[in-house]
Structure formats: C-alpha cells, structure tokens
Structure 1
Amino acid sequence: MTGTAHTTDTPRRPLDVLVVGSANADLVTVVERHPAPGETVLGSDLTVHPGGKGANQAVAAARLGARAGLLARVGDDAHGRLLAASLADAGVDTGPVLTGGAPTGVALIAVDGRGDNTIVVSPGANGRLTPADVVDARAVLASAAVVSLQLEIPSASVAAAVRTAVAAGTRVVLNPSPPAPLPPDVLAACDPLVVNEHEARALLRSPTGGAPATGSADAADPAEPADAAGRAEALRRRGPRSVVVTLGAAGALVCGPQGTEHVPAPAVEAVDATGAGDAFTGALAWRLALGEDLASAVRFAVRVGAASVTRPGAQTSYPAADALP
C-alpha cells in the first residue's frame, strides 16, 4: 500500500470488481440483548476483526473467485496492517489502497443472542479518501467491469467515483449505507441500488434521495408503500436503473424495468449477521461482472449472504463458491 493512488498511465490487470469504500477494524462483543438508551449491559471479551463495508465487499468477491480490487484509505497503524493482511490473504488487489492521513477507521459492534447487531463507526482514515484520490485512480476504475460503492467514505468521493465509472462505461452498484443524500446523476447511474428495508424507508422519506433531515427513519409515513415490493418500485421511480431490496432471512427483491421478483434465501441457522449485506453485495457485483442478468446474480448472492451468517465475524465468515448452501 502507498500514499499515492495509481494514475491513468499505470497499467493494471483488468478487474471484475473494484470496490471503492471503507476499511475498518471491527471491535466486536456479544451481548444477551442490546441496551436501551442510558442502560449498561455486559458483553463478552472483545475481539478484533478486519471489516468496513468496502473491504468486506472486496474480500467477499475475491473469496468467491473474482478478480477484485479495493480503493480505500487506512492508517499507518496496527489496524491498517491487519486489514492489509486480510485483503492480501483473500486475494484482493491492494495496489489502490492508500495509507495515512488519520488512524484506521473502527466499527464498534454488539451482537445479541439472535445474531442481530448494532454498529457505531468511527470513520478515521475513511474520511480522508478524497475526490482527488479517486481521480488519480481513474485507470483502475476504468479497468473494472463493475464498481461497487457504499457511503462510509465522503459523499463527494462517492460521487466522483460514480461519475468516473460512468465516463469509463463501468457498471455501478451502490449500497447507500448509512443513508445520505445522493445527487440525481449518482442515483441514476445505480444498476442496481442495493438497500435493506431500513435504508429503503430512509431513502423514500427524503425528497433528496437520502436520509431524512429530522425524525426517525423508521417512523410511520402514511404516504409510504405498505410492503417491500411497493417500496422497491417507488425507489426505482426515483431514478436508479434497478433496485435490489435485501430482506434478511426472507431473501431479496429484484426490481427493474420488467417488474419485481422475490428471490428466497436458503434456510440456515444464524449465528452473526455482521457483514452479511456486504457479502451479498460483493457476490452480486461479481456475478454482474461475469455478465449474468440481475435476477440470476441476486439468486447467487442470497446464497452467499445466507452462508455468511452461519459463522461469527464479517470477513472471517465469507464463503468460497464451493461452500454455499
């Protein structure tokens, strides 16, 4: 890893998937139940895992067999070295990863007895990945069949990556997590926009296509469609070329110009849902890079997401293609 991104003059091996996003150290404790506001509960011994939505998606794709790369920024510290080792072990191209500017980002994760989690992220170096870094890496973006993004890096850097990908003819997959405003041209480039049910509600309740300015993203809204399929269709009318809504154990919804389809997930015993959405999105991006249609790619991705919840951790839980349910 270096402090300078690759330039347009740097030749690179073509990638199936380039992930542009965050790289964090996940600090995880297991609790019997999540605390209410102002309440303290006891957790298990703290464990440290490589994570971050960007790094997770890159590792998930690479473990499945994709030629995957990551454009991210980490700190020059122990957590950054942990991430570098995990990415390299999974076969991710770490050439575009930048070092320095701030400590590596950290995610504080509590997992309850049902495998559900709550997460607080301290962005650290992720917040220092700039639009200029993206422009410097334009040759890498152009080398990929699919660019996959999330919103744990600055929104201006996300927009720069999407616009660079569009100019290069690269397909864009975007998971707006955590929900935040999306410029119309960024939203229009998404093929698909990948959201869970919480993110779908947040996007629909904002006229700008991002998180609502006030109130709860889960508060009732009489104008909101009552079911997930209706929300998927309402989201697609906001501008993205296609929408995928993940439904946890129920699978996912695929919404495109031809209509909406439900894709069920295999039944598994959930241990830890941390990073399951990233496993899904990494797998989805890879299958799209191979030329599969969206519904087929989602059918594969729900199997990967289901497999990931059967083991603790994020990247440590991601399966190889021959280990899917």
Structure 2
Amino acid sequence: MSIRPVVVVGDVGLDVITRPSGEIQWHSDTPSAVALVPGGAGGNSASWLAGLGASVTLVARIGSDAAGSTCRHELEAAGVTCAFAVDPTLPTCMVVILLDAHGDRTMFPDRGANKAFSVGDVDLASLGLPAEPRPHLHLSGYVLFDAGSRAAGLESLRQARALGWSTSVDPQSPALIEREGADTFLSWVAGVDLLLPNENEVAALGGMRAILEHTHEVVATYGAAGARWVGVGVDETAEAPFVDNVDATGCGDAFNAGLLSAWLRGENRSAALRAGVSAGSAAAARVGARPA
C-alpha cells in the first residue's frame, strides 16, 4: 500500500557540526572535526520521508543566497518537492552544532529567513495534492516558537484541518516550551492527531495526561529506551536497538519520518513505532541529520 502524501512545514538550513578532539580549551585552540551539512528540522524530516518512499512537499523559506540554492538542490536530489519562498534580505538558516564525546549536541541556531516565514508563504490548496488519498501535514515546532513565523505555522494547521488532512507536530525543544509556557504551546497544537515529543518535552508539557487533554494521541521518544504511543485505549511501546551514538542531531526528525511513513501506509501503531525507532537509530549512528 502506498504512503499518503505528506506536506512538511519547517526550517531549512545548513548545519556546521563540530566534534572537538578532546576537552575544549576555551579562549584558545581545540583541534576538531568540522562538517558542513544540510539541516533544519523540516528539511531533515522531509529527506527521511522521501528516502522511505513518501511523496513529500516541503513548505519553507530560504534566503536568496548560495546556502539556499545548496539546500534546494540537495532536497530535490533526495526526491523532495520544494515549495519555497525566497527572502530577498535575510540569509538562509545556519546552525552551529557542538557535539560532546557521547554524540549529544548543543545547538547555536541563526534561523535567518526561517523567522520571516509568513502566512503568505502558506497555501496548501495550491500545492495540487489530490483529496484522496488524504494528505498529511507535519509541522516542526520551531516554526511556532519564533514570533515571526508563528502565525504561518498556525495557519498551516488551520488550512490542513479545513482540507480534511491529518496532522502531526514535533515540539522540538523543552527549553522553548518552558520559555513560552506549556499551556500556551498546548493551545497552539490543540486538536492535532499526533504530538511527537521526546521525554524532556513530555515533562516540560506537564506529562502525558496533560498533553492528551489537547491532542488526540501522543508518540513519545525515550532515546535508548525506545518509544511509546499513547491515546484513548492505546498504549504501545517499542524497544530501541543498541547503537553507537555518533551524532544525536536530527534523530527525532528521522524518527518522525519513520513512524509517519509506516502509519500513513496503513500499518498498525506497533509497526509504525518500530519503523520510527529504526530510522531514529540509523540517524544516531552517523554524523549529520539526513539519510546517507
């Protein structure tokens, strides 16, 4: 059975991934391995979805610069349809990522053109997707957390509901949830079919029960402990295989793609969880947030 079409709304940019060779020598020099790779939560999930066989369109905003052209070329080569607005002033997003010895990351994002993503950039009906099979909208929470792009993120959810599409949202950041407040974030995502937080985001949102008062179902990830799908009469879990965590960047984006590709193909929740864990584990085992 084919996968229902997916529209991803989220950030696109480049990641500068830095892996120090040892303890960081602050105010001096630390030899490091540095890689410049495509990134952005929206671009990551879209690439993984395309790699898993989905027909996927990415709605985003890039700069009118070489970085934006690079991002578009890489995504189109991966099979993603790019419905991009081009900002004449702001640069394409750039994120500096610092990896520790365990592959866990600290990020320093400059969202660039992503923060100017506007309501005028969102017209889901114009994408030309058929009513059947019913499309699905996946939204990255970063769009909601930036005051400049929030209205566009909320508009994408509104349009998807009006068109009868299913919806999912990844909260993306416990720190940003705490900054805005759990009640505020949950009001933004009220009524979505799937919320896709990690364990820290679940805690920041007040736990599963609080989340389920606003969303239909929740799929939470727990790193090496696997994942859990919870809803009314639903409580499924999946274990994670052991992997050498090289780079945690984008593991959640890959998980989302794996889970959605299976679920939108009509597989049951248990199979979808396993597919999500498999994709997330594959992402953890390599540097960068995109499929090999």
TM-score in terms of structure 1 length? 0.77
User: What stretches of structure 1 of length at least 5 have no aligned partner?
Assistant: 1-13, 205-230, 320-325
Amino acid in structure 1 at the alignment position of 2:185: L
Contact 2:11–2:142 (CA under 8 A) maintained in structure 1? yes
Per-residue CA deviations over 1:89-144 (Å, capped at 9, x if unaligned) read 110011x112124100111101112111111211111011111211x343338656
Matched, 1:100 2:100: no
Distance change in 2, residues 1:246/1:32 (3 Å)? farther
Which structure 2 residues correspond to residues 252-267 of structure 1 after superposition, within 5 A? 252-267=227-242
2:126 pairs with 126, 139, 148, which one?
A: 139
Maintained 8 Å contact 2:22/2:30: no
How far is the alpha carbon of 1:81 from its aligned partner?
1.5
SS in structure 2 opposite 1:267?
Answer: coil
SS of equivalent residue, structure 1 residue 240: coil
Q: How big is the shift at 1:48?
A: 0.8
Count of equivalent residues: 273
Q: Distance in 2 between matches of 1:277 and 1:40?
A: 33
* 3-state DSSP of counterpart to 1:79: helix
C-alpha distance after superposition, 1:1-26 (max 9, x if no partner)? xxxxxxxxxxxxx9621100100110
2:289 corresponds to = 314
Asked whether the equivalents of residues 96 and 109 of structure 2 are also in contact (C-alpha less than 8 Å), the reply is yes
Q: Offset of 1:285 from its aligned partner?
A: 2.1
Is the alpha carbon distance of 1:159 and 1:306 closer, same or farther for their aligned partners in structure 2, counting shifts above 3 Å? same
How far off is 1:87 after superposition?
0.2
Shift of 1:292: 2.6
Structure 1 residue 200 displacement after superposition? 1.4
Residue 54 (structure 2) pairs with residue 52 (structure 1): no
Aligned 8 A contact 1:147 1:170 in 2: yes
Aligned to 2:190, the other structure's residue is in SS state helix
CA shift, 1:66, in A, is: 0.8
1 CA distance for matches of 2:286 and 2:217? 31
Q: Which runs of 5+ in 2 are unaligned?
A: 144-148
Cα deviation code 1:218-259 (max 9, x no counterpart): xxxxxxxxxxxxx323421x3100001111111111111113
Stretch moving more, 256-265 or 101-110? 256-265
1:286 is displaced (CA, Å) by 2.0
Identity of aligned residues (%): 33
The one of 152, 155, 170 aligned to 1:157? 152
- The 1:293–1:39 alpha-carbon spacing in structure 2 relative to 1, beyond 3 Å, is farther
Per-residue CA deviations over 1:196-228 (Å, capped at 9, x if unaligned) read: 112112222xxxxxxxxxxxxxxxxxxxxxxxx
Letter in 2 for 1:301: G
Runs of 4+ off more than 6 Å: 33-36, 38-41
Q: CA deviation at 1:161?
A: 0.6
For 1:197, the equivalent position in structure 2 comes to 199
1:298 aligns with 273
Using the alignment, how far apart are the partners of 1:89 and 1:189 within structure 2? 34
Which residue is 1:67 aligned to? 55
Matched-pair contact (CA < 8 Å) for 1:123–1:152 = no
- Asked if the contact 1:232–1:244 (Cα under 8 Å) also holds between the matched residues in 2, the reply is no
**Does residue 278 of the first structure (1) align with residue 250 of the second (2)?**
no
Q: Over aligned residues, Cα RMSD in angstroms?
A: 2.3
| Residues 40, 69 of structure 1: alpha-carbon distance in 2 compared, 3 angstrom cutoff | farther
Per-residue deviation, 1:187: 2.4
Question: In 2, Cα distance between the equivalents of 1:175 and 1:247?
Answer: 14
